[in-house]
Structure 1
Amino acid sequence: MAGKMRMGTGGPGMGGLLKDGYKHYSGLEEAVLQNVQAAKELSKITRTSLGPNGLNKLIINHLEKIIVTSDASTICSEMEVAHPAAKMLVMASSEQQKAVGDGSNLVVSLAGELLSQAQDLLRMGVHPADIVVGYKLAAKRALAAVEKAVCKVMSADELRDASQLAVALQSVVAAKHYGFEHVVAPLVAEAAVAAMPSAPRRPAISVDNIRVAKLIGGSITDSQVLRGLVVLRDTEGTVKRADKARVAVFGVGIEAADTETKGTVVLKSADELKAFARSEEETMEEVVKSLSDSGVTVVVSGGSISEIAMHYLEKYSILVVKILSKFELRRICKVTGATALVRLGAPTEEEVGTCDSVVVQEISSRRVTVFQQDEDDSRMATVVLRGATTSLLDDLERAVDDAVHTAKTLCRDGRLVPGAGAVETAVSLDVQEFASSVPGLEQYAINKYAEAIEVVPRTLSENAGKDATDIMSALYAAHAEGKVASGVDIDEGGVCDAEVAEIYDSCMAKLSAIRLASDAAITVLRVDQIIMSKQAGGPKPREARPGDL
């Protein structure tokens, strides 16, 4: 069955078909098993990061930035995987991250295990087509089994209750920062509730409405949630507070406008010089006075602020914030309801924004400006994260981002399934039972699919340093007795009731992960030939330096 690698040479056969420089791999040994092996290697990397006791990876990317994380989506994207088959797993993981925000590691680990089990069948002589059919049947059964395992459905009132929402988010945070889930999950839940629309409407979250501000210093327990937007810089002048503020946002700098053409001014005396400077000052004072007369007490500038403008802004007691990021400007407009102006001058009533308070606070020896809205419809909240190192803060931000996406998912589908590997054990048993009713070679593939789903409880046990075989036996025994919420107890090394321990996973996240992992594995198994064109020319790779890996 093994195929041959051919190079395009212009001769007979495949060589005559392809251009010079093409590579062609075919057959079981060279194409199918090579692809399976590449996917297995990727899965092996991410699997040790699965669950609360998962280990971190230290990645140095092409910009020499150091990333320390256990987030599978980040690991896959920063590694720049080149193998086409492994890339399919990376794309499936990325899609899971975009769609649900959690479960990216489950996608890669499950897809890798499905292909590993398929490899055994291929070596036994089972045709890939039979495996694909079996996997499709098993995936359909597994999705139905997950929906059957739903143990709780969150109502609209429960989603608006920060304490109950925090319980549903704890497992997501624990997967990244075990031990701090009781600190971070309530913060995310508080921010999510603050970002939801008022009660008559259905709970929904816009991810962009929950911001993260990272401040080095202090510990994770010092983190807090602030209603509104936190800008990580001080104000420009001496005015540090404005209550019931009227806000004007300018997308341009506050300074005298440059002329479109170059001009030369000839000054013949000191009086002419004073008069020239005075006219510029009067023009700027006119602009600032018109702002003050329209009731503006806070000015946000998207460019530089001249010294003359700063002088008059101080004179009229206007608080000034300079923000060079266009995205940040857009968020301030969203929070305050202001319109960004591209001209200097007093804004109209429709263009002015309002804010309950704009105040400078000192957090961790750093001055930040807080645009705080206590009760409004802008619905924006900021999670202020504290930590000792930049790497820790970056990883905390990823955990918060996953939790926010999960909260958004729960607003769409409030179903929860028992976590700690309980639902995977129940699905595995259900698929095994289904396999016995299917005739033909597909039965082998369905049994292997059931074995592959065991990867979650087995890996949770291994990563916690426990005996996976003993725990799997205890899990199956508990499920056989009808205890369908039995999962892995990573602390004691036995079996725990996930519902009693309040360990829940989003049903939608599980369904999406199983669907994407199955599709990725089936796509890889369906490939029997690899045809690679010659790479385009470009700069030569950097030479290895001493100390490089």
Structure 2
Amino acid sequence: MQAPVVVMNAGGERQTGRRAQISNITAAKTVADIIRTCLGPKAMLKMLLDPMGGIVLTNDGHAILREIEVSHPAAKSMIELSRTQDEEVGDGTTTVIILAGEILAFAYPHIERNIHPVVIISAFKQALADALEIINEISVPVDVDDEEQMLSLISSSIGTKFVSRWSPLMCRLALQAVRTVAIETNGRREVDIKRYARVEKIPGGEIEDCKVLDGVMINKDVTHPKMRRRIENPRIILLDCPLEYKKGESQTNIEITKEEDWARILEIEEEQVKLLCETILSFKPDLVITEKGVSDLAQHYLLKGNVTALRRVRKTDNNRIARATGATIVNRVDDLRETDVGTKCGLFNVELIGDEYFTFITECKEPTACTIMLRGPSKDILNEIDRNLQDAMSVARNVYFEPRLSPGGGATEMAVSVLLAEKAKSIEGITQWPYRSVAEAMEVIPRTLAQNCGANPIKVLAELRAKHAEGNHTWGINGDTGKIVDMKEYGVWEPEAIKLQSIKTAIESACLLLRVDDIVSGVRKQESGAAAPQGGPQGGPPGPE
């Protein structure tokens, strides 16, 4: 506990604290400025060059920040925010960074006025609690079974993205995929789009050819050219073990003295494989899929039994096939039971697309796993469509869990801004100023939307403020024209979960960065003369960083 005393005596504590906070605010603002132009339907694209020489073209905030390399710790912390937002709700990654950057920028004048960071933080926390209540008040419930409402909601999430030209198609794909993987267990809804809704990208064809398959597609061909490539209503067995001769452990040694013994060893191998295949064939399957290898001999026996085999299928694909077909993955052939055989699949089909073979296991009865097949002119475009589709599916999933909507187009942020500014008048003392700053910072979203589509932000914001002052909290900005519109008529709504998460994450992270009053590098030691004297890490005498 002695170190701070030593530092204060040296006269460096206040200077260092102020410098660290200003440095953090500047770094956060720089990161926010990078992706500020990526908000709204008229967003600009960023071209990113990766170390391998590849190019990524995108306006997805998370994808951009993931590729950027920064050395400043506060900037790294900001980039983590977009990752958190993406993991939690899957959308609003750009919003959260812009908001956090703006809130920190508004904290700067208070630090200049020597208001203590703890006072600023407590005002921010108070503003956050009030903002969450305001969002709850202006949000409306939604019926998740209403197709039209759900589609218009998803379209507002991808209206700002590259795929907005094919918006109706992409919205249908996202909604269909989420509805397919949604299951209810013990009264709880589970929607696992990461594991059970796989996106397969096949360059070639037109974007209009994209579809959600009622089953699973994998990039595999049958193991033997003479095996059947089309089977209707197949019986499917899924294995997690090799159909090969099981060799002894590495320390097994066999000494052979006679030639007959060698022949006998080979016979034992064959018998073991034959026994494996006979056990499988006793269940009369049409299709055997294993995550491990299938030996030539096993292929021969399976072919004789008119069974098609696929090998070295990924674990994740096997799990999806199990969910779609009702089969159970078995670890040992001896453990096979009749109940493990999957019979829900209507069609097994292997097709040649371009120069690769793809296996389709489709027409499943009530599948709870699916594959979204994307077609398009090039890999870059397919990657961008994939990123946008993930956002759309996340939005649909959020609404399934929390069926409430907030008005989009900056209307929610503007409502929070106006109502917080009103509440700020009733707050006494010095806390009022930082509290009011949160209200002003919220205006950054509608302002940026107006700027990005070339409108006059001052004029548009004045009109919007006037509408909200009258109590019309659903008015926001039309991101295409820059004019103000009522979101009820315009139809842009966003899940309440995304709005709540954005504001929570932005304000919490701003508080976290304001609390930092010293940045000490544990990597590179500076020269003794170059750095201002500071306390040692264990409270020892003053020393360099």
TM-score, normalised by the number of residues in structure 1: 0.85
Q: How does 1:126-525 map to 2 (within 5 A)?
A: 126-150=115-139, 152-155=140-143, 159-177=144-162, 178-197=164-183, 204-207=190-193, 208-237=195-224, 238-260=227-249, 261-263=252-254, 281=270, 283-344=272-333, 347-356=336-345, 357-363=347-353, 366-372=356-362, 374-376=364-366, 378-525=367-514
Cα distance in 2, alignment partners of residues 118 and 339 from structure 1: 57
Equivalenced residues, count: 514
Cα gap change, 1:200 to 1:88, in 2 (>3 Å): closer
- In the alignment, the residues of structure 1 paired with residue 340 and residue 258 of structure 2 have an alpha-carbon distance, to the nearest angstrom, of 40
Contact in 2 for aligned 1:77/1:90 (Cα 8 Å): yes
SS in 2 for 1:529: coil
CA deviation after TM superposition for structure 1 residue 90, in Å? 2.6
State the alpha-carbon separation in 2 of the partners of residues 44 and 97 from structure 1. Answer: 19
1:166/1:262 CA distance change after superposition, 3 Å? farther
| Superposition deviation, residue 206 in structure 1 | 2.1
CA contact (8 A) 1:149 1:417 kept: yes
Question: What do residues 293-341 of structure 1 show as CA deviations (whole Å, max 9, x unaligned)?
Answer: 3121111122232222222222222121123422222333333343433
Aligned residue for 1:546? Answer: none
| Distance across 2 between alignment mates of 1:475 and 1:198 | 42
Deviation sequence 1:333-384 (CA, Å, 0-9, x none)? 33334343344568222333333232224556643212225323x5112211
1:16 and 1:470 map into 2 onto residues whose CA distance is 52
Partner of 2:530: none
Task: Using the TM superposition, give the Cα deviation of residue 180 of structure 1 relative to its aligned residue in structure 2, in angstroms.
Answer: 2.8
Secondary structure of the corresponding residue to residue 233 of structure 1: coil
Q: Which amino acid aligns with 1:331?
A: R
**Bigger mean CA offset, 46-55 vs 105-114:** 46-55
Query: In 2, are the aligned partners of 1:174 and 1:180 still within 8 Å (CA)?
Result: no
Alignment RMSD (CA, Å)? 3.1
Structure 1 residue 505, shift from structure 2 partner: 0.6
User: Which whole-Å CA distance do the structure 2 matches of 1:368 and 1:420 have between them?
Assistant: 42
How far did 1:415 drift?
Answer: 0.6
Q: Structure 2: how far apart are the matches of 1:25 and 1:252?
A: 65
Structure 1: 5+ residue stretches without partners: 1-9, 18-22, 537-549
* SS of residue paired to 2:217: strand
1:86 offset after TM fit, Å?
A: 2.3
SS at match of 1:197: strand
Q: Report the 3-state secondary structure (helix = DSSP H, G, I; strand = E; otherwise coil) of the residue aligned with 2:298.
A: helix
Q: Which residue of 1 aligns with 2:107?
A: 118
Letter in 2 for 1:217: G
What letter matches 1:94 in structure 2?
R
Shift of 1:134: 2.5
Q: Distance in 1 between matches of 2:180 and 2:37?
A: 36
Cα 1:336–1:16, aligned 2, differ >3 Å: closer, same or farther?
farther
Match of 1:532, SS state, is coil
Superimposed CA distance per residue, residues 88-127 of structure 1 (whole angstroms, 9 cap, x where no aligned partner): 3233332222221111221111000011111133334444
Kept after mapping to 2: 8 A contact 1:24/1:530:
no
> 1:512 deviation in Å?
1.2
Contact 1:429 1:450 in 2 (8 A): yes
Given that 1:290 and 1:345 are in contact with CA atoms closer than 8 Å, whether structure 2 keeps it comes out as yes
Q: CA deviation at 1:202?
A: 6.6
CA distance in 2, matches of 1:375, 1:25: 69
* Cα displacement (A) at 1:36: 0.5
Q: Distance in 2 between matches of 1:198 and 1:431?
A: 39
How far apart are the structure 1 equivalents of 2:318 and 2:181? Answer: 19
How big is the shift at 1:276? 7.3
- TM-score normalised by structure 2 residue count: 0.85
Give the 3 Å change call, closer, same or farther, for CA 361–478 of structure 1 in structure 2. Answer: farther
Give, in whole Å, the separation in 2 of the partners of 1:240 and 1:160. Answer: 38
How far off is 1:455 after superposition?
1.0
Tell me whether 450-459 or 361-370 shows the greater mean CA deviation: 361-370
Instruction: Give the AA of the match of 2:141.
Output: V
- Check whether the contact 2:40–2:479 (CA below 8 A) recurs between aligned residues: no
- Give the direction of change, closer, same or farther, for the CA distance of 1:346–1:100 in structure 2 (3 Å limit): closer
- Change in Cα spacing, 1:323 to 1:65, as seen in structure 2 (3 Å) is farther
Map 1:9-158 → 2, pairs under 5 A: 13=6, 26-61=15-50, 66-150=55-139, 152-155=140-143
What is the CA deviation profile of residues 373-401 of structure 1, one whole-angstrom value per residue up to 9, with x for unaligned ones? Answer: 5323x511221112222222222222222
Provide the rounded CA distance (Å) in 1 between the counterparts of 2:442 and 2:354: 46
Q: Which moved more, 1:471-480 or 1:451-460?
A: 471-480
Change in CA separation of 1:262 and 1:15 when aligned onto 2, cut-off 3 Å: farther
SS at match of 1:53: coil
For the residues of structure 1 that align with 2:188 and 2:310, how far apart are their CA atoms?
A: 36
Partner of 1:411, secondary structure, is helix
The answer to which of 502-511 and 335-344 deviates more is 335-344
Deviation at 1:38, TM superposition (A): 0.7
Q: Deviations over 1:272-293 (max 9, x none)?
A: 9988767655654443343223
Output the CA distance in 2 between the equivalents of 1:66 and 1:248: 42
Matches of 2:74 and 2:508, distance apart in 1: 13
Describe the shift of the 1:478–1:14 C-alpha distance in structure 2 as closer, same or farther (beyond 3 A): closer
Flag structure 2 segments of 5+ consecutive residues without an equivalent: 526-545
Match of 2:520 in 1: 531
Q: 1:89–1:108: 8 Å Cα contact kept in structure 2? A: yes
Larger mean Cα displacement after TM superposition, 292-301 or 320-329: 320-329
- 8 Å contact 1:195–1:206 — kept in the other structure? yes
Which range moves more in the overlay, 519-528 or 205-214? Answer: 205-214
Q: What amino acid is the match of 1:355?
A: K
Identity of aligned residues (%): 29
